[in-house]
Chain A
């Protein structure tokens, strides 16, 4: 295709878009609404992820060592655990540290403070807190600890007390994710159908023109191309409109959401991910416009 022809098609698409301003405005508006729903779904996914993340962050496994265990051995165990692929990080809390933490935690309680002062020896045990990459890994880590050569030094692994809680957290996370995915999929299908029908109606209003173009010798490609350009324009303007509404709306609700769901910093997330967000919405918008136009115009080209 020559450059001249390409320019002509672009110009023709743009002219159609401008001249059918009411229809173009309506179609763009509906598409913008659809894309806004997409952005809403993206936001919900971010919120759901941060909820599951913050729940999962609260889960860990602690290993308590007998008070007679040497720090050197504990550090060796720590290194062993850190080498496990399922482990995200390991924190060692020495007996002294545990004692200080305990004292600090109960700083306001005079009775406890007095009792602590009378102790000859530190009764608290050293421990390591293990955070797994995924909450499903804790059972495996606990198993590993059961079989380790240092098992004799371990007083207690609190996984068994937490086991049920961890399982419940996993269920909630899984539920949130799969429901989120199902909702996204369902709403996406509805959104695509709404866009498709809107574009189809728009093209239907011009079906007589398409028939005429065919009768005066217009080839399929010549007729179709300006409509595809129109489709791109609908998608482009709709995505820009949706984004122009989305970002201010986000900054408006972000503080409220962060108050209610700690960790869900929506504004921050979508500003850091702005290039991906903008690109995703524009690509979805343009694709929706072009695909809908292509399918819609097909039936009018069979004359």
Chain B
């Protein structure tokens, strides 16, 4: 379970990204977070992987306050939470196989295990035949699927997707959404930040709408994109 308790986040330049947010996300939820640019959507995700610290309040994952997660343990937290970014954040100097293998190497997995798991997860996202391709040799959709494969390799219980379709066309956006749905059906909690109205509406899941750092609407089921 993920809990935000009275969380505020103020950037160094004084910009208030989040203002006294209270939010609970249960295990196995599929939550879409929508809202205009600057509403604080991505800040929520960045707090969850401890890329940012809240200025006030507390963020808890499975009852553990992230404030108590020691600096040296941040990598462990990030391995527990799979993250997909709008700009993919792939390692340009590594090919598809190595990008996914890298995430697994961090955990101390053996070469044999890596050789077994990486092709499997690449096959799940439909990149079995692109293993030796470098990111610059892939389309936007393929890059995002590769990023999802990388996030999946740890079998995370929580998957964060920050505008996963922001750089993709309709067909590729649909593919990525199907993948996220598949991941969710396996019991993973998915939190997706998006601007894509059709995507959100087609999901019919929980939708949280944010504006100016505050939650203005929380539709628990069959939520729609309303701004």
A residues within 8 Å of B by Cβ?
2, 4-5, 8, 16, 19-20, 206, 208-209, 212-219, 222, 303
Q: Is the interface of A mostly helix, strand, loop or mixed?
A: helix
Tell which of B84-92, B123-131, B195-203 binds the partner.
Answer: B84-92
Which residue from chain A places its CB closest to the CB of B50 in the assembled complex?
A303
What B residues does A208 contact at CB under 8 A? 92
What B residues does A5 contact at CB under 8 A? 108
What A residues does B106 contact at CB under 8 A? 216-219, 222
Which residue from chain A places its CB closest to the CB of B156 in the assembled complex?
A217
Q: A5-B108, A303-B51 are in contact. Are A218 and B93 (CB under 8 A)?
A: no
Restricting to B4-46, which residues have a CB under 8 Å from any CB of A? none
Complex: A20 Cα to B91 Cα, angstroms: 13
Which residue from chain A places its CB closest to the CB of B85 in the assembled complex?
A215
* The one of B76, B90, B91 that contacts A217, using a Cβ cutoff of 8 Å: B76
* The one of B79, B90, B105 that contacts A8, using a Cβ cutoff of 8 Å: B105
Interface string of B91-122 (1 = CB under 8 A from A): 11100000000110110101100000000000
Question: Chain B: interface residue count, which band?
Answer: 20 to 34
What B residues does A214 contact at CB under 8 A? 75, 78
Are A206's CB and B89's CB within 8 A?
no
What B residues does A19 contact at CB under 8 A? 93
What A residues does B49 contact at CB under 8 A? 215
What A residues does B111 contact at CB under 8 A? 4, 8
B143 within 8 A of A: no
Are A217's CB and B79's CB within 8 A?
yes
Restricting to B63-88, which residues have a CB under 8 Å from any CB of A? 72, 75-79, 83, 85
Complex: A222 Cα to B102 Cα, angstroms: 10
B150 within 8 A of A: yes
Complex: A8 Cα to B150 Cα, angstroms: 19
Q: A215-B78, A217-B79 are in contact. Are A209 and B91 (CB under 8 A)?
A: yes
Write 28 A-B pairs (CB below 8 A) sorted by A numbering: A2-B108, A4-B110, A8-B105, A8-B111, A16-B93, A208-B92, A209-B91, A209-B92, A209-B93, A212-B89, A212-B90, A212-B91, A214-B75, A215-B49, A215-B51, A215-B78, A215-B83, A216-B89, A216-B102, A216-B103, A216-B151, A217-B76, A217-B78, A217-B79, A217-B106, A218-B75, A219-B72, A219-B106
